[in-house]
Chain A
Amino acid sequence: MPVIALEEVSKLYGFGDATTVALDEITLNIEPGEFVAVMGPSGSGKSTLMNIIGLLDRPTHGIYELNGRSVSRLRPNQSAKARRDTIGFVFQSFNLLPRLNVLENVALPLAYKGMLHSRRLKRAADMLERVGLGDREYFMPRQLSGGQAQRVAIARALVNNPHILIADEPTGNLDSAASRLVMELLSDIHKSGTTILMVTHNPELTRYATRVVFMHDGSIVADEQSEIGDIPKLARKTHYSIPKTTEEDDLAGVSALMQAIPEKDEAQKKAVKKKKPKAKIFRPRATKRGKR
């Protein structure tokens, strides 16, 4: 039985003419123990999908079954409890509470479960040990490096023994060394049986995944199984570059267009203005920074 089963799930924003389709009838099954990497350009619906799977959001249409239980129409309180017991979140920006120390941050989900203070601190301490930060218990989040903060966030996500770990660009704010450490940690967690969903823009990171899903304009355009350690074919083809446009480029672009236009009357000036943004859209436009 799949741990996550989405059937024709759609998410729409806005009303009438202004309606945006963020997810377009997505059907997706994820089996327990999979490590799914979700890729796609900005605005392709990755985060919306993660929010719906993570029960932070509800689908407009379609059925979502989590562990065989339909959760697409849960009330906010029920979904909060389901989220607390089955899902762990890891964010790009760590999202630790700045006023709590590391140990309290990790113990936070247990507090909402109603666990006794001493027991939850014990559990949190064990979990910190597991991510290799046993000696940082009483540090404040601002005293940690990015990699350490993300490992604390992972400890917090795992402290409730969730079935699913949702990581939204977990290495987006980290340098390569810290990224590696975090990815190795996620890989360890995966090996111990936790299902992981990870959004990423970095094709290199798909080496850790057992399955790669590509999204575009709210639809899944490709879904490929892969061996751990391999970069799947599709991911290899995706070229990501940081767009570099300077003022000079822009000026050159406009003047080139201007030269191409024989007559400089008003109507054509308007046409120039219209064309310019279009030209920009066609540029391969994916950023390393991703979206939040």
Chain B
Amino acid sequence: MLLARNLKIAIDSIRSAKWRSLLTMLGIIIGVVSVVTTVSIGEGVKTQVKDQITRLGPDLITIRPGKVVNRDTAGHVSSVNLFPSAGTAAFNESDWKAMQNTPGLRAVVPFNVVTGVPSTTERSMDNSFIVGATTNVPEVLNHKVEFGEFFNEGDVNKRVAVIGKRVAEQLFAENVPIGKIMEIRGQQFVVRGVFEEFATSPLTTNTDYNTAVFIPYETSKHISNNQVQIYQVLAKPIDPVAVNGVTDALHQSILTARAGQDDFTILKQDENLAIANNILTLLTGLIAGIAAISLIVGGIGIMNIMLVSVTERTREIGIRKAVGATNKQIMSQFLVEAAVLSLVGGIIGVVISILANYMLRIFTSLQPVITVPITLVAITVALVVGIVFGVTPALRAARKDPIHALRYE
């Protein structure tokens, strides 16, 4: 009941100084918006990455040169190296052959990077990448060729290419450029097929295959003077359940091929997911942490305004004390006011976050997800900030000497 009355006083006093209250709340609003938006973007990206990874199939095995992760003795991923490629060489052909000869695998596809910019007579595309691969790319990527077909066993030495959606759009400016000619490293290639659009997720290191040009592995060797730079190998086991045994066997055969050097990483799909989650959680937390600072700044703003308000209302405090208000009652009045300011700020912040969420969905490829817990946490934190920073002004109000307060002009 006392709370209800204090709420009314607080709302009256906020309404009587609308602009000042709004400016005070601005700090809290900005804080809440930035925290909620960053966390929701993080959540959204996580969902997208998860989608992307699960679409590749749960039994996919990724083999990469370099130590992407550190494992504990039990073989679980203990930490992730954010920049693993630095100073690490690629696989060569003998490594790949060793992997291919490992029993229990039905498809082992090397991704041999060829440097170069694909071009037509009219256009070229800088941001694409050229990959020499074997014929079972659609199988390991678990993805269909939408138009045309992927190159087959009879094409291994031919100059054919299968391209991603972006390449078709940007290089040929059409959807189905099958039979068209493109030039890579001075050699002409015929487009054999176009992949269905790959789901992409922003903010991840995962490759965007929509910008890829796939050419037969042998051909890629020819056009780059037999130099092989395999940046990853994708493999699928014959028995999806036996992934663990297969990875152990793979590990052994690669170790043998690389003369005992353990400088590569074999990742199962669930680990891939865990790594992506790990990195994203870290990044989201970092940005949200920085954003949270603005909440504290907002709290200081509230304290500042409340101190001004207490001084302005000295006489009111004196009158209230003269008619019998105890220190506690005066204190709770001002605490409630600070709490209401920050709570309203928090709610406005969440509303703006939801609007920002829709804007992001409409204008960017991000798919942010605002969950109920995060909004509740944001509002609660805002409320707590208001109360914490409201204590000092409220105490100051409560401790005012009624005689001096009554004389105050």
Contacts and interface: CB of A to CB of B under 8 A. Distances in A.
A95 B406 contact: yes
A77 interface: yes
Contacts of B325: 80, 84, 112
Nearest to A91: B406
A156 interface: yes
A109 B324 contact: yes
Given A95-B319, A95-B406, A97-B316, A84 B324 contact: yes
A145 to B, nearest CB: 20
B74 interface: no
A160 B324 CA distance: 10
B329 interface: yes
A108 B315 CA distance: 15
A56 B322 contact: yes
Nearest to B13: A99
B323 to A, nearest CB: 4
Interface residues of chain B: helix, strand, loop or mixed (majority): helix
A109 B326 CA distance: 11
Contacts of B13: 99
Interface in B16-68: 16
Nearest to B402: A56
Contacts of B5: 111, 117
A84 B323 CA distance: 6
Contacts of A109: 323-324
Nearest to A116: B1
Nearest to B321: A80
Contacts, number: 63
A99 B328 contact: no
A278 interface: no
A94 B321 CA distance: 15
Contacts of B12: 99
B322 A97 contact: no
Contacts of B320: 97, 108, 112
A57 B403 contact: yes
B76 interface: no
Nearest to A87: B324
B322 A99 contact: no
Contacts of B188: none
B327 interface: yes
B324 A95 contact: no
A262 interface: no
User: Which of B4, B13, B315 gathers the greatest number of chain A CB atoms within 10 Å?
Assistant: B315
A95 B326 contact: no
A193 interface: no
A97 B323 CA distance: 11
A114 interface: yes
Given A99-B13, A114-B2, A116-B1, A80 B403 contact: no
A142 interface: no
User: Which of A76, A77, A80, A91 gathers the greatest number of chain B CB atoms within 10 Å?
Assistant: A80
Interface in B312-371: 315-316, 318-329
A97 B322 CA distance: 12
User: Which of B4, B12, B325, B328 gathers the greatest number of chain A CB atoms within 10 Å?
Assistant: B325
Contacts of B326: 76-77, 80-81, 112
Contacts of B328: 77
Contacts of A280: none
Contacts of A85: 324
B323 A156 contact: yes
Nearest to A84: B324
A109 B318 CA distance: 13
B1 A89 contact: no
Interface in A56-92: 56-57, 76-77, 80-81, 83-85, 89, 91
A269 interface: no
A89 B2 contact: no
Contacts of B16: 99
A187 interface: no
A97 B329 contact: no
Nearest to B16: A99
Nearest to B5: A111
Contacts of A116: 1
A51 interface: yes
A95 B322 contact: yes
A292 interface: yes
Nearest to B4: A117
B394 to A, nearest CB: 15
A33 to B, nearest CB: 23
Contacts of B322: 54, 56, 83, 89, 95
A275 interface: no
Nearest to A113: B324
Nearest to A76: B327
Contacts of A114: 1-2
A-B CB proximity, top 8 nearest: A84-B324, A80-B326, A109-B323, A77-B326, A112-B324, A56-B402, A112-B325, A95-B319
Interface of B: 1-2, 4-5, 12-13, 16, 315-316, 318-329, 402-403, 406-407
Interface of A: 51, 54, 56-57, 76-77, 80-81, 83-85, 89, 91, 95-97, 99, 108-109, 111-114, 116-117, 156, 160, 292
19 contacts: A56-B322, A76-B327, A80-B326, A81-B326, A83-B322, A83-B324, A84-B323, A84-B324, A85-B324, A96-B319, A97-B319, A97-B320, A108-B320, A109-B323, A112-B323, A113-B324, A114-B2, A117-B1, A292-B407
